[in-house]
Amino acid sequence: MIVTPLDSAVLDSKEQYVFYHKKVDFALKELIVSVQRHKLCTQQEVVFFKQYCDLLLYSIEAMRIKYMYDDEDNMKVDLTESGFPNYLEFRYLYNDLSLRDNYLHKLKDISQIQDEFLDILLKKKVPIKRDQLFQASSIVYYTSVKQEYIFNRFVQGKLVESEDQAKGQYLVSWSFFDVSQNRPFVCYMYFNYDGKDVQKDKQNLYDALNAVADREMNLDTMAYGVDKRIKDIHPTYIKRIDLGPFHNVFAKDENEMTHAILESIAKKEIPLESYALSLKIDEVKTGSTFSEGSYFNKQTLQKWNDVESSKYVFAPHRIIQLLYNKTPQLMNKLAEMPFEIASLKN
């Protein structure tokens, strides 16, 4: 992994951060709706997809509150093939909230802050100073943001019975924020179970996923790693969704779509709010089985078919036209025509 300053860049002003947060929030909400509308996930899968995206949105909103009036520090954003906050921001957020009580003891009581603000606005009739606004936002942050809703490096979903038994008896999902790509991934694994009670192996499964499926890697490698760790669990189908990059005015990478958008923004052919979101889905299915190990400790493992990758783009109508005009080869390689989503109105 090559780390560059653009992986953890600071935007030029607080106004730019306001604009950035507005764009990310809008784009992710549009993505959730579009993924469901175009059936890129099953009805069962989309429930979990929404949950992971909600955690992501919640975390980025928490960062907005945390840094809003902080003149000494700013949220770091990966402006390369990501567009999302640097992975360390999520870690800082989670760790920071672990010390919530320590910070709250140092802050003024909320009623005292309210009285001071009323006095400033109604009696003195002057603007509230930024350091006072920072105190108020800190109180909001430490009293309202819940640590359990922060999108952590690895987020484990529930083990449930599969609604599509042809894919497997059970379905487990998880999500992670890849530290090398600075992008969120959502994963699903369907599997069959040979044991008596799958709930007894649930924690073993969760531990295995956390150990071998918490980062971007070859999908068949991930599948083998999970398959080998738990004897009675036999994965049959794994699906991984890669969210991003988020192509927008702040991006500074070599991506062709990003460059097409930036060039058109610079020429004032499209507005500053213009954006597009890329998404990739990797899938792998079991083809047959093979045995591994000694005679007395033999284990049946899955032999996986080739990984199938499908790329998608979500963008407003004007941006889709632009991308077809400037990057036709990329558009022709997509699994489907770009999905139209709403434009952001500034």
- 346 located within any domain: no
Residue 43: is it exposed, middle or buried by C-beta count within 10 angstroms (0-12/13-18/19+)?
Answer: exposed
Strands 233-247 and 276-292: antiparallel
Please identify which residue in the block is written with the tokens 């109508």. Answer: 317
pLDDT of residue 110: 82
β-pair partners for 177: 184
Q: What is the DSSP string of 252-292?
A: -S--HHHHHHHHHHHTTSS-TT--EEEEEEEEEEEEEEEEE
d(CA 81, CA 225): 27
Tens digits of per-residue pLDDT, 8-60? Answer: 899 999 999 999 999 999 999 999 999 999 999 999 999 999 999 999 999 99
- 249 located within any domain: yes
Tokens for 180, please give them. Answer: 């090398």
Closest alpha carbon to 21 in 333, 277, 248: 248
d(CA 28, CA 41): 16
d(CA 53, CA 175): 10
pLDDT of residue 293: 62
Q: Which residues of the chain have pLDDT under 50?
A: 1
pLDDT of residue 295: 56
pLDDT of residue 122: 86
Tokens for 254, please give them. Answer: 């070599």
pLDDT of residue 253: 86
Same domain, 195 and 315: yes
Same domain, 108 and 175: no
State which of 128, 149, 170 marks the end of a domain: 149
- 333 located within any domain: yes
Please identify which residue in the block is written with the tokens 């890129």. Answer: 40
For residue 344, the one-letter residue type is L
Closest alpha carbon to 247 in 31, 60, 91, 97: 31
The parent domain of residue 59 ranges over: 5-149
- 19 located within any domain: yes
Q: How many domains, the chain?
A: 2
- 345 located within any domain: no
Same domain, 311 and 162: yes
pLDDT of residue 345: 82
